[in-house]
């Protein structure tokens, strides 16, 4: 019972403060709660930490945040980069402000400059800031779209991207080498300021970020033409997006922007939603209510750190609002960017689009038709950013856009993470552009289906929390590897890509080849009829995700085929 031993060690340790011990004493008779808090260390994994806020080794608290920051500081010092500094931002979640301040003071105690935003800011602005200030690293305190009890700690490197191999491995080693909380250094804020180590930033960076967003606008004259006609409803879902979202839309000229008042103010409890995630249709309830009142053309939501975006579009024929999934959002932005750049003679011969392996295959058709190079990477924007870095290093391609099905996209290469503010701006601009032609974004989406093919995708996410849940997820992946299906929903499996083991199994030829696949715990099933299924554990949440896609003869046929494939995938879940 190592978790009980760890629990008692915290209660007896001189390194743990009395307030934390009191929180732990309250659960002394709840062994399951003790187990969940202490059965492991909160892992420094996908770009950092993410977990429930509270006392314990498997929780987000000042000790786990302190250990991560001291490890990061040690790595920065080993690379003699302390003078370049670290940019720090935070969202509206509980303890975000406190954790961001703590991180700065720990870095300062190690002689490392910090540039902390004066108040909460979106994650994409942090990515932009790292590059703009030539920082060696960046930290944003956020749990993105997770439920209110969570918070997180994401680390970025000098290219403005979330840390990736080999830097992530090297920082993780430094974090794990901090074995005692007494090793964590900390300065008082007054002393850190006096030494020029603790610096506050804000409006100046906002202005530069807004100017950057304006620079990627393609049809400002059409925005002015349709500014009084296009009605936009927006919600930041109690998060960081409101200030900059409203500002960029106003400065571009949009005059009919309606923000959901009940969700406009930052609030870590997210009181009006069960789950502050624009992927969840229920998160749009208040926004859709307002949309019907004002007869809005589009309804947009950002998640709490404003890196993701959700969208509903009014169908003028039925009067109903159509929910766009993450693929539809990414495809809409991609097609608008590429076709408008091509029409204006701005599409370079070396233009490239980057998508993840679980994103829509319609992307391939868009790129083929417009002669744009397409690159496919593993899920996660750090992999998209790594590909952009590779382009720069080899002086080959110029990234026009990157996107993944999980409601995120970036435009250009100034921001190296999901940018929900840029996406909001371009979706609003695209809506004005098509409205000028007498079309809605839904009308345009239907035209895209006719032009490129009736591709439809879906996802099943299963939440399995705690130690038992983690083991179940591990068992499910192992079972799918050992007992791989040869048929899913009446469709033969042609090939199985195993990214963890670096193999591609050809079912028809009964052979398995070793391939240089990027290493990740992912299984990808290529099916006949242009169907596909992919399975992976989430890197940031206690979930296992099943992705699937089909191609139909028309929208109804594609929907029917997708429903049937989804039913087939459910039968795989044990």
Q: Could you report the per-residue pLDDT of 26-73, keeping only the tens digit for each?
A: 999 999 999 999 999 998 876 799 999 999 999 999 999 999 999 999
Short-list 444, 540, 477, 524, CA closest to 50: 540
List, for residues 366-396, the tens digit of each pLDDT value.
999 999 999 999 988 999 999 999 999 999 9
- Residue 128: pLDDT band with limits 50, 70, 90: very high
Answer yes or no: is 20 within a domain. Answer: no
pLDDT, average across residues 328-342: 97
The answer to whether residues 101 and 129 belong to one domain is yes
* Runs of H (alpha helix) within 483-539: none
Furthest CA-CA distance within the chain: 70
Shared domain check, 372 and 249: yes
Q: How many helices (H) and strands (E) does the chain have?
A: 19, 23
Do 402 and 294 share a structural domain? yes
User: Domain range for residue 263?
Assistant: 227-451
Calpha distance 275→303 (Å, rounded): 10
What does the pLDDT read at residue 19? 96
CA distance 46 to 41: 14
Residues 435 and 496 in one domain: no
Same domain, 357 and 237: yes
Residue 468 scores a pLDDT above 90: no
The pLDDT of 424-444, averaged and rounded, is: 98
Q: Do 525 and 566 have their domain in common?
A: yes
Query: Does residue 140 fall inside a structural domain?
Result: yes
Quick one: average pLDDT of 514-525?
87
pLDDT at 424 over 70: yes
Flag whether 27 is in a domain. Answer: no
DSSP 231-242: -EEEE-TTSS-H
Answer yes or no: do 396 and 495 share one domain: no
Residues 6+ apart with CB under 8 A from 314: 291, 295, 296, 297, 298, 320, 321, 322, 440, 442
**Contact criterion met (CB below 8 Å) for 432 and 226:** yes
Q: Is residue 217 part of a domain?
A: no
If asked whether residues 298 and 400 sit together in one domain, one would say: yes
pLDDT digits (tens, 9 = 90+) for 83-110: 999 999 999 999 999 999 999 999 999 9
Please report the pLDDT score of residue 508 as a whole number: 79
Lowest-confidence segment of 46-50, 127-131, 189-193 by average pLDDT: 46-50
33 assigned to some structural domain: no
* Least confident window among 37-46, 308-317, 345-354: 37-46
The residue that leads in pLDDT, 465 or 524, is 524
User: Which residue, 451, 486, 506, sits at the end of a domain?
Assistant: 451
Domain boundary among the residues 406, 428, 451 is at: 451
Report the pLDDT value the prediction gives residue 515, as an integer from 0 to 100.
Answer: 77
The structural domain count of the chain equals 3
**Predicted local confidence at residue 46, as pLDDT:** 66
**Could you tell me the CA-to-CA distances from 276 to 96, 271, 464, 530 in Å, in that order?**
16, 9, 19, 34
Q: What is the CATH number of the domain that holds 297?
A: 3.40.120.10
3-state secondary structure (DSSP) of residue 499: coil
Q: Are residues 380 and 327 in the same domain?
A: yes
With b for 16 or more beta-carbon neighbours within 10 A and e for fewer, the 435-464 pattern comes to bbeebbbbbbbbebbeebbbbbbbbbebeb
* C-alpha R_g of the chain: 24
Rounded CA-CA distance 147/475 in Å is: 26
In a shared domain, residues 381 and 497: no
Instruction: Enumerate the active-site residues.
Output: 144
Neighbours of 539 (CB within 10 A): 16
Q: How many beta carbons lie within 10 A of that of residue 25, not counting itself?
A: 10
Report the percent of the chain where pLDDT is more than 90. Answer: 90
- Looking at the structure, do residues 192 and 305 belong to the same domain, yes or no? no
- Domain end, chosen from 428, 451, 474, is at 451
Q: What is the pLDDT of residue 258?
A: 98
Both 171 and 81 in one domain: the answer is yes
Residue 163 carries which DSSP code?
P
Decide if 12 is inside a domain: no
Evaluate whether residue 214 is within a structural domain.
no
Q: What is the pLDDT of residue 1?
A: 65
d(CA 232, CA 259): 8
CATH number at residue 485: 3.30.310.50
Residue 113 covered by a domain: yes
Q: CA 546, 547, 548: angle at the middle one, nearest 5?
A: 125
């Amino acid at each position: 019972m190592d978790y009980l031993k760890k629990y008692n060690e915290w209660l007896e340790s001189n390194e743990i403060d009395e307030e934390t011990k009191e929180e732990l004493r309250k659960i002394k008779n709840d062994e399951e709660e003790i187990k969940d808090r202490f059965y492991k260390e909160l892992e420094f994994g996908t770009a950092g930490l993410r977990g429930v806020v509270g006392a314990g080794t498997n929780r987000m608290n000042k000790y786990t945040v302190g250990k991560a920051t001291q490890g990061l500081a040690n790595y920065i010092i080993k690379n003699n980069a302390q003078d370049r500094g670290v940019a720090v931002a935070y969202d509206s979640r509980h303890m975000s402000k406190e954790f961001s301040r703590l991180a700065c003071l720990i870095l300062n105690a190690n002689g490392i400059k910090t540039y902390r935003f004066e108040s909460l800011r979106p994650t994409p602005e942090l990515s932009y800031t790292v590059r703009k200030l030539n920082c060696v690293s960046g930290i944003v305190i956020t749990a993105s779209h997770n439920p209110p009890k969570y918070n997180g700690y994401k680390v970025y490197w000098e290219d403005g991207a979330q840390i990736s191999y080999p830097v992530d491995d090297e920082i993780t080693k430094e974090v794990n080498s901090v074995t005692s909380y007494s090793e964590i250094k900390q300065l008082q804020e007054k002393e850190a300021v006096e030494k020029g180590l603790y610096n506050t930033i804000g409006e100046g960076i906002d202005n530069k970020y807004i100017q950057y967003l304006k620079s990627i606008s393609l049809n400002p004259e059409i925005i002015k033409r349709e500014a009084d006609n296009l009605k936009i409803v927006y919600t930041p879902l109690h998060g960081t997006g409101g200030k900059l979202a409203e500002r960029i839309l106003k400065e571009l000229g949009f005059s009919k922007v309606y923000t959901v008042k009940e969700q406009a103010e930052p609030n870590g409890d997210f009181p009006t939603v069960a789950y502050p995630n624009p992927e969840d249709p229920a998160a749009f309830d208040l926004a859709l209510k307002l949309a019907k009142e004002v007869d809005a053309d589009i309804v947009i939501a950002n998640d709490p750190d404003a890196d993701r975006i959700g969208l509903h579009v009014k169908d003028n024929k039925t009067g109903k609002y159509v929910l766009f999934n993450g693929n539809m959002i990414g495809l809409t932005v991609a097609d608008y960017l590429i076709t408008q750049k091509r029409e204006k003679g701005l599409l370079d011969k070396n233009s490239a689009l980057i998508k993840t392996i679980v994103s829509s295959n319609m992307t391939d058709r868009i790129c083929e038709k417009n002669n744009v190079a397409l690159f496919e990477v593993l899920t996660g924007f750090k992999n998209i950013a790594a590909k952009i870095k590779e382009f720069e290093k080899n002086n080959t391609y110029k990234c026009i856009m990157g996107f993944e099905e999980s409601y995120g996209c970036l435009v250009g290469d100034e921001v190296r993470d999901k940018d929900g503010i840029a996406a909001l701006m371009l979706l609003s601009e695209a809506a004005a552009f098509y409205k000028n032609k007498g079309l809605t974004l839904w009308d345009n989406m239907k035209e895209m289906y006719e032009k490129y093919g009736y591709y439809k995708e879906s996802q099943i996410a299963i939440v399995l929390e705690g130690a038992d849940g983690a083991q179940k997820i591990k068992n499910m992946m192992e079972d799918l590897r050992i007992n791989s299906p040869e048929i899913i929903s009446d469709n033969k499996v042609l090939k199985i890509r195993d990214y963890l083991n670096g193999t591609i199994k050809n079912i028809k030829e009964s052979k398995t080849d070793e391939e240089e696949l990027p290493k990740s715990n992912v299984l990808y099933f290529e099916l006949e009829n242009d169907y596909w299924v992919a399975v992976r554990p989430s890197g940031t949440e206690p979930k296992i995700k099943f992705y699937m896609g089909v191609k139909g003869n028309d929208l109804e046929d594609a929907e029917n085929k997708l429903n049937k494939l989804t039913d087939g995938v459910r039968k795989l879940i044990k």
